[in-house]
Amino acid sequence: MMLDMTVEEKDQLKLERLQSTLNRAFKNVPFHRNRFLERQLLPEQIVSLKDLKKLPLMDRTHLGTHYPYGLFAVPLRDIVRIHTAPGTGASPSISGYTRTDLLVWKKLVVRSLETAGVTNLDIIQIHLPPGLANWGRDYKDGGEAMGAGVIPNSPLSLAKTLMVLRDYKTTTLITTPAFAEQLVDHMFDREHNPNELTLKRVILVGEPVGKNAVTDLEQRLHVDVWRHYGLSEIPGPAIAHECGSHCGLHINDDHILPEIIDPETGTPVPVGQKGELVLTTLSARAFPLIRFRTGDVARFLTEPCGCHSPLLKIEWLKERTDNMIIISGIKVSQDQVKIYLQTALKMACPDCAIDRIRRDGTETLAICLAMDDALFSDEIKELEKLISGTETALAEQVGVPVKIRLMQKL
């Protein structure tokens, strides 16, 4: 439908969907209603897409403070799936889906796969970390909907993943940049020739990746590489996808409306200038989000695209406007880590440095923690047991491996 629309018709469709979303949020979600009233606004006063900037921004802290169901716009009896994400504070963030939401999202995943050249003759293999398990389910549903063969997400080792790739004649691998790099290194270290595989394409998700890394992967693995942008909060993978031109990502703006703002002032930046990506859902019934700050940095690309898609195009950049660290495609809040350490280790204010490292071929959340009186123990074994237990529990909460190293307090 989008391909046959004029620009005016497309903008009218987006405006109608935006107005429907705003009315539903105002009527059913006290949080959104109160924010309208604080601005002395009513949904019917939003008469153009430019009026969206009159509404306040929201961020991940709002998802945590309204845990679990405070932002739902439909009765729980209409919810057929609930997703959780680590969030930024003590509570996880929750998003819900109606049957209609899942059907819409499945169509968007199919759209992104078809743009990458996937057909019903392909075999799709999904390899995503536990923190992106929901995305794995979405890609499975999309692949099955288009009639492709799908090998669902499962926690296999590098060696067994390679075995499945070869023996099952996988043509499309969906994974994170970190795992794709590990897989190629594993193959070359063990002298496996890429020609042993039937692989045609790799779809990278979870974090931005530069052109040099893409070129290296394409040359070493003999595949085409496609990049997808997604967000766990609204509502998963394939919010934006690359086309055959491989110059930016087309965002599904008929269902998710993008803005680029100055992260300091919250005002829209000139077209083409980089800033923070803000998203508003246009067709989500269960969990509408209005002007959601992603923390991702992007810019709109205005040059005509060779694929002639009517969808807006963005460049997704590596910078961030928040203190999130991306590990194997999973966003980890440094504030959340510190809150957890404060509770688990009974530390008033943990003095720590948080970073991402490669450990045993796996990306790991590395925490360098300063010793204080709360951690002091005459029994080294007890201290080691405490740290080990904290690593395990924190890893379960944030969805990535954790390594804590103690250092002397300065």
pLDDT digits (tens, 9 = 90+) for 209-246: 999 999 999 999 999 999 999 998 887 899 999 999 99
pLDDT for res 92: 79
For residues 137 and 105, the answer to whether their CB atoms sit within 8 Å is no
- For residue 371, is pLDDT > 90? no
The predicted model gives 73-85 an average pLDDT of: 93
The one-letter amino acid code at 283 reads S
pLDDT for res 233: 84
Q: pLDDT band for position 79 (50/70/90)?
A: very high
Summary mean pLDDT of the chain: 92
Place of tokens 């019903």: 120
Q: Which of 104, 250, 107, 112 is nearest to 172 (CA)?
A: 112
Question: Distances in Å between the alpha carbon of 289 and those of 78, 111, 266?
Answer: 18, 22, 17
Per-residue model confidence as pLDDT tens digits over 59-70: 999 998 999 999
What would the two tokens of residue 359 be? 């450990």
What structural domains and CATH numbers belong to the chain?
330-408 (3.30.300.30)
For residues 359 and 367, the answer to whether their CB atoms sit within 8 Å is no
The predicted model gives 1-23 an average pLDDT of: 87
- For residue 390, is pLDDT > 90? yes
- Sign of the C-alpha dihedral, residues 126, 128, 130, 134? negative
Per-residue model confidence as pLDDT tens digits over 113-162: 999 999 999 999 999 988 888 999 999 999 999 999 999 998 889 999 99
- Sign of the C-alpha dihedral, residues 132, 137, 142, 143? positive
- For residue 348, is pLDDT > 60? yes
Euclidean distance between CA atoms 314 and 242, whole angstroms:
10
For residues 257 and 249, the answer to whether their CB atoms sit within 8 Å is no
pLDDT for res 374: 65
The predicted model gives 37-54 an average pLDDT of: 96
